[in-house]
Amino acid sequence: MKKLLKNIAILTVVLLLSVNGYSQSDDIKVPLRFDHYYTYDQVVQALKVLHKAYPDLTKLEVVGKSEENREIYALTINNPKTGEELSKPGVYVDGNIHGNEIQASEVCLYFLNTLLTKYGNNEKITKLVDKNAYYVIPVVNVDGRCHFFTDANTSSSNRGLRRPKDDDRDGLFDEDFPDDLDGDGNICRMRKKDPFGKYKTDPEDPRLMIRVKPGEKGEWTRLGQEGIDNDGDGRVNEDSEGYVDPNRNWGFNWAPQYVQGGAGDYPLSGVGLKGIADFIMQKPNIIIGYAFHNSGGMFLRGPSTKSQGKFHPKDIEVMDYLGKNNEKIVPGYRYLISWKDLYSTYGDFGDFLDNIIGAYTFVGELFMSSTETYRDPEQKTEEEDDMFRGSSNERNREKLKYNDHVAMGELYKEWKEYDHPTYGKIEIGGWVKMSSRLPHPFMLQDLVHRNASAVIFSAEQTPEVEMEVFEVKKIDKNLSRVRIRLVNDKAMPSISYHSVQKKAYPKDILKLSGQGIKIISGGQLTDNYRDKVNYKEYKPEVQFCQVPGFGKVEYQFLVSGKGNLVIEYESMKAGKIKKQVKL
């Protein structure tokens, strides 16, 4: 009998996991599936099977460990036959920096799966894999992802790093987590029958409550999140995992806790974040970055605070070109400026990548709650996306109908009685953790494909610099005029204008040399018809340059001597070119 009961308990857990949109099956194969969510362990296994299937194109490494000693993995994709990874433009992608933002990791896995499984079969993907190096960290907050699946949560809880913190300032640390009173794996809401309460049952749907009007008799008091007052301070669930926000802890424009909530004690105090930062700093070729979060339907660009000022106009042109195309690739998503269109943040990862690494960075907020529809074709709502603006009763009624008739009732827990140790007879119910900020698994394939496609579009626009020696002309007995053109057909320049302006790292170098050859003069050619040149006074054989997106730069040199003239171009982001001409 005990064995039978044990088997029934195991089966019940498996069924609950399946209903909530993820599977505990360890049988992960290439190509990966995207009809469910992967647990932390399954993400690790998925990375390992991709690496095993494509060992010649991938490198799998642990870039750091978390507060709870879990490993943070990065998978690098590079074709060594077309060059070393640091000699190519770098594309960086990560996800799940907040523990509850799990679909962000699925986008990363889908992106990896697409590049690898289509390599050699799809001409576009093959060219992109040969052109760039790709650095992908699917799970930044590995502890958060693990606890989101294994612990009871709301869709919005379990965001921060697992660093003990006295959130309620009572001298105790992390002592008042939410409590899964009914043991269903979710933290829902509590309500109690109360004739003096401020709410009554919605006459159109008894699962909802609406505020009573002045003088109207109440029916319910809302008690907040499911839980109890573990520390006896009169508040419920107010001190869970130590709240250091991993997207407020980076080493650029950081501000302390009294300015920025969740900042942590100092920049990169998160041990896992420090490991990721070290990994990124070793990849100076990164020129485009995507960091995926989970809600709102947005592609955000920096700056994250107004005080930083505006980006260089030429960089804004690049971001606009990419961002507006992203809007076309992912219908309904909006391309926005973080501080201006959303809110200001300090110690933000996007600012770190923009300013320290010199990349063009987008934050992808993935899910639009407005897609959970159940309405007449002609019907319109006052606010299509209410994630940051609150929810109307009309919208909640529609979401419940969507739950009932499209999601098969899997997103909402019906109210059930419970005997609470403090409040007595109450009811527990509401939206489960795999809802609201997360798409139902049937919607996952479209979400991951479109957002991975946005990254692929940007990867196509990394700089492709070509060198043309378009004139070698003898102008005297032992003197030649050499003209060189550097052309870039893609949107991104060889170095961002912001990096040039702030001197974040060295500009590109154009260098001439040769045995028995002397460079008399050289500089940027501004008008090749009128022979106008901005000559460099010292060391003319070395020119510092930037190749614009969708543009070119030209240089002129006066060279004495005979023999082989070696021309070298080297860029931290756009690679290297070497040519030789005979004088």
> Residues 80-112: pLDDT tens digits?
999 999 999 999 999 999 999 999 999 999 999
> Residue 392: which pLDDT band, with cuts at 50, 70 and 90?
confident
Among 1-15, 76-90, 137-151, 286-300, which is the least confidently predicted range? 1-15
Q: What is the mean pLDDT of residues 354-383?
A: 87
pLDDT at 268 over 70: yes
- According to DSSP H, which parts of 85-137 are helical? 103-117, 123-131
Q: In 3D, which of 238, 233, 114, 118 has the Cα closest to residue 176?
A: 238
Among 238-252, 309-323, 377-391, which is the least confidently predicted range? 377-391
**pLDDT value of residue 172:** 76
For the chain, the straight-line distance linking the first and the last C-alpha, in angstroms and rounded, comes to: 93
pLDDT at 354 over 70: yes
CB distance 376 to 466 below 8 Å: no
Share of the chain above pLDDT 90, in %: 85
**pLDDT value of residue 238:** 79
Widest distance between CA atoms in the chain: 105
Beta strands 334-337 and 298-301, pairing class = parallel
Distance separating alpha carbons of residues 373 and 439, to the nearest angstrom = 12
pLDDT at 574 over 90: yes
Distance separating alpha carbons of residues 222 and 426, to the nearest angstrom = 10
pLDDT at 14 over 80: no
Distances, alpha carbon 553 to alpha carbons 124, 180, 372, 444, 531, in Å: 28, 64, 50, 44, 14
pLDDT at 7 over 60: no
Q: What is the mean pLDDT of residues 216-231?
A: 93
CB distance 278 to 63 below 8 Å: yes
Distance separating alpha carbons of residues 286 and 359, to the nearest angstrom = 6
Distance separating alpha carbons of residues 206 and 380, to the nearest angstrom = 24
> Residue 13: which pLDDT band, with cuts at 50, 70 and 90?
very low
**pLDDT value of residue 381:** 52
Q: In 3D, which of 579, 553, 583, 554 has the Cα closest to residue 568?
A: 579
Classify residue 470 by burial, with Cβ atoms within 10 Å: 0-12, 13-18, 19+: exposed
Q: Which CATH architecture has domain 2-149+243-367+441-460?
A: 3-Layer(aba) Sandwich (3.40)
Three-state DSSP at 502 gives helix
**pLDDT value of residue 165:** 80
* In 260-403, beta strands by DSSP E: 286-293, 298-301, 334-337, 360-365
pLDDT at 19 over 60: no
pLDDT at 543 over 50: yes
Distance separating alpha carbons of residues 506 and 495, to the nearest angstrom = 9
**pLDDT value of residue 176:** 72
Q: Which CATH architecture has domain 465-582?
A: Sandwich (2.60)
pLDDT at 413 over 90: yes
**pLDDT value of residue 5:** 33
Distance separating alpha carbons of residues 287 and 461, to the nearest angstrom = 10
> Residues 511-537: pLDDT tens digits?
999 999 999 999 999 998 899 999 999
**pLDDT value of residue 334:** 98
pLDDT at 67 over 80: yes
> Residues 461-478: pLDDT tens digits?
999 999 999 999 999 989
Mean pLDDT of the residues in the chain: 92
> Residue 20: which pLDDT band, with cuts at 50, 70 and 90?
low
> Residues 129-172: pLDDT tens digits?
999 999 999 999 999 999 999 999 999 999 999 988 877 777 77
Q: What tokens were used for 275? A: 């490991």
Q: Domain map of the chain by residue range?
A: 2-149+243-367+441-460, 165-235+389-395+409-436, 465-582
Among 131-135, 230-234, 290-294, 402-406, which is the least confidently predicted range? 230-234
Q: In 3D, which of 523, 509, 515, 522 has the Cα closest to residue 568?
A: 509
**pLDDT value of residue 386:** 44
Beta bridge mates, 210 = 200
What are the contacts of 274-277 at 24+ separation with CB within 8 A?
274/64, 275/63, 275/64, 275/65, 275/72, 276/63, 276/64, 276/72, 276/94, 276/137, 276/140, 277/250, 277/251, 277/352
> Residues 185-214: pLDDT tens digits?
999 999 999 999 999 999 999 999 999 999
pTM metric for this prediction: 0.93
**pLDDT value of residue 170:** 76
Does the fold of domain 465-582 match that of domain 2-149+243-367+441-460?
no
